[in-house]
């Protein structure tokens, strides 16, 4: 749960602005009331009771309550997340909101436009996209139709609806300021709609609608040095939210398939170096062994132009397009290789299963970065061994307390001088690997077990 992010510039608005903003409404339209009469009943208030387990957060919470002199009759380790949601299917009572709104929630209460209260069931949540799906059992619900967010254009008029600072059914209006905002560090999967419709804390999970009354985005974050709106807000595109919702309904989770490549945007300099006529697309920088991309024949230097007939304009498009396809999905990829068009097909794999397979092949040293080392130490004298550069969290070596900076000098009581020696000894071991490690001025023994 993100509790207080106002000290940084990107701030989630869990907790539309306090003033009306109707700049740019066409002269022929003097009111949004008819449009909003249909949309407002679909916007709900969400209150989630969340148990705080982080010690630092708990201390800050207690300090805040002491300053304010009011605990709200809540246990000392419980906080209430106040935000918004959107009814997207009336028959089944489905409600879209943000995942960070209900993360670690012990109970979730939904309040409708007409004042009715319901306990909500969490159907599923996807933290990488920050989308969650709730369900309530209620009659006479009003749902908002989901529009095609890919048709949005910069300058289109939009309205944002939510519960800023707990003020329910607040509406503000503005325009689409920008599209396909990425690299903001808000979510792993980013393709945000930027809007100047004033947005404030409490609007997380609220609706961004177009002038046809369709849902085009789920409001998620603002750019602000304080808790107030400065006219830079971000919404998750409705198409992305719908894709996540469908997987949550059908499977209860989002199980992303992996292609196994790294890619980067094409700058004008790269376009010139690759003799490309355009900067659209994404150039492949790495191809990971044993992944579908390698098996499909994708090479470093290939330029991806389409994925499943969807145009690729930059590297983020590859991440977002592939990232919402499930494991075992088939994907067709259009490439430029030395300015010649080719098409390859691949079946996305489960990255967890691949990790398990690779780890099974090298259970002791999986996730450990190594480098041969020759060192003249004032404490240890001349040292020949293997320097540990990195240790992946939750690997067997990590559980054995192997650290970056350690120098491995022996394995199973056999002196080693290089990585090849270490791997040869490890390959012969079935249960555990005994390492002698130089750490700072001292030395210790560590045991890496095959199963941690």
Two tokens, residue 374: 């020759």
Non-local CB neighbours of 239 within 8 Å, separated by 6+ positions: 148, 149, 150
CA–CA dist 437, 8 (Å, integer): 41
Active site residue 399: no
CA–CA dist 434, 452 (Å, integer): 14
How far is the CA of 51 from the CAs of 104, 122, 258, in angstroms?
7, 16, 34
Judge residue 328's burial from the number of C-beta atoms within 10 Å of its C-beta, 0-12 exposed, 13-18 middle, 19 or more buried: exposed
How far is the CA of 439 from the CAs of 78, 390, 435, 442, 446, in angstroms?
42, 14, 12, 5, 11
Two tokens, residue 108: 């979730």
Give the number of other Cβ atoms within 10 Å of residue 366's Cβ.
Answer: 17
Active site residue 380: no
Tell me which of 84, 100, 173, 317 is the catalytic residue: 100
Judge residue 124's burial from the number of C-beta atoms within 10 Å of its C-beta, 0-12 exposed, 13-18 middle, 19 or more buried: buried
Instruction: Quote the radius of gyration of the chain (alpha carbons, Å).
Output: 26
Q: What one-character DSSP code corresponds to residue 41?
A: G
Active site residue 130: yes
CA–CA dist 292, 346 (Å, integer): 6
* Residue 388, beta-bridge partner list: 370
CA–CA dist 359, 426 (Å, integer): 13
Tell me which of 204, 316, 395, 410 is the catalytic residue: 204
Strands 170-181 and 192-195 turn out to be antiparallel
Two tokens, residue 35: 């449009």
* Residue 84, beta-bridge partner list: 45
In the chain, helix, strand, coil percent, each to 5?
20, 40, 40
Tell me which of 81, 84, 130, 410 is the catalytic residue: 130
CA–CA dist 169, 160 (Å, integer): 10
Judge residue 72's burial from the number of C-beta atoms within 10 Å of its C-beta, 0-12 exposed, 13-18 middle, 19 or more buried: exposed
CA–CA dist 306, 62 (Å, integer): 52
Catalytic residues: 100, 130, 204
């Amino acid at each position: 749960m993100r509790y207080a992010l106002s000290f940084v510039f990107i701030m989630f608005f869990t907790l539309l602005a306090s003033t009306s903003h109707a700049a740019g409404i066409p002269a022929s339209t003097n009111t949004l009331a008819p449009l909003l009469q249909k949309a407002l009943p679909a916007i709900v208030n969400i209150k989630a009771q969340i148990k705080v387990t982080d010690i630092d957060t708990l201390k800050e919470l207690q300090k805040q309550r002491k300053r304010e002199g009011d605990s709200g009759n809540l246990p000392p380790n419980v906080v209430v997340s106040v935000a918004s949601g959107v009814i997207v299917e009336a028959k089944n009572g489905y409600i879209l909101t943000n995942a960070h709104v209900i993360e670690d929630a012990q109970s979730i209460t939904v309040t409708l436009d007409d004042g009715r209260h319901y306990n909500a069931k969490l159907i599923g949540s996807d933290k990488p996209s920050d989308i969650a799906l709730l369900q309530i059992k209620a009659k006479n619900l009003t749902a908002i139709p989901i529009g095609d967010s890919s048709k949005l254009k910069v300058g289109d008029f939009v309205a944002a609806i939510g519960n800023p600072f707990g003020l329910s059914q607040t509406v503000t209006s503005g325009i689409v300021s920008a599209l396909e905002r990425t690299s903001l560090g808000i979510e792993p999967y980013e393709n945000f709609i930027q809007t100047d419709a004033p947005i404030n804390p409490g609007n997380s999970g609220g609706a961004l609608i177009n002038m046809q009354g369709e849902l085009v985005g789920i409001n998620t974050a603002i750019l602000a040095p304080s808790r107030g709106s400065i006219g830079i807000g971000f919404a998750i595109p409705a198409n992305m939210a719908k894709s996540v919702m469908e997987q949550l309904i059908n499977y209860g989770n989002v199980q992303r398939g992996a292609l196994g490549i790294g890619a980067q945007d094409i700058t004008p300099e790269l376009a010139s170096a690759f003799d490309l006529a355009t900067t659209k697309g994404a150039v492949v920088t790495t191809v990971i062994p044993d992944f579908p991309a390698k098996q499909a024949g994708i090479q470093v230097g290939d330029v991806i132009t389409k994925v499943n007939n969807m145009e690729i304009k930059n590297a983020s498009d590859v991440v977002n397009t592939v990232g919402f396809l499930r494991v075992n999905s088939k994907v067709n990829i259009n490439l430029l290789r030395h300015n010649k068009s080719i098409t390859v097909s691949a079946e996305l794999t489960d990255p967890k299963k691949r990790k398990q397979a690779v780890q099974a092949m090298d259970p002791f040293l999986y996730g450990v970065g190594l480098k041969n080392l020759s060192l003249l130490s004032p404490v240890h004298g001349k040292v020949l061994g293997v320097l540990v550069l990195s240790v992946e969290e939750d690997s067997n070596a990590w559980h054995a307390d192997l650290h970056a900076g350690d120098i491995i000098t022996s394995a199973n009581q056999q002196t080693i001088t290089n990585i090849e020696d270490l791997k040869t000894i490890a390959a012969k071991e079935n249960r555990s690997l005994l390492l002698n490690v130089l750490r700072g001025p001292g030395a210790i023994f560590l045991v890496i077990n095959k199963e941690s």
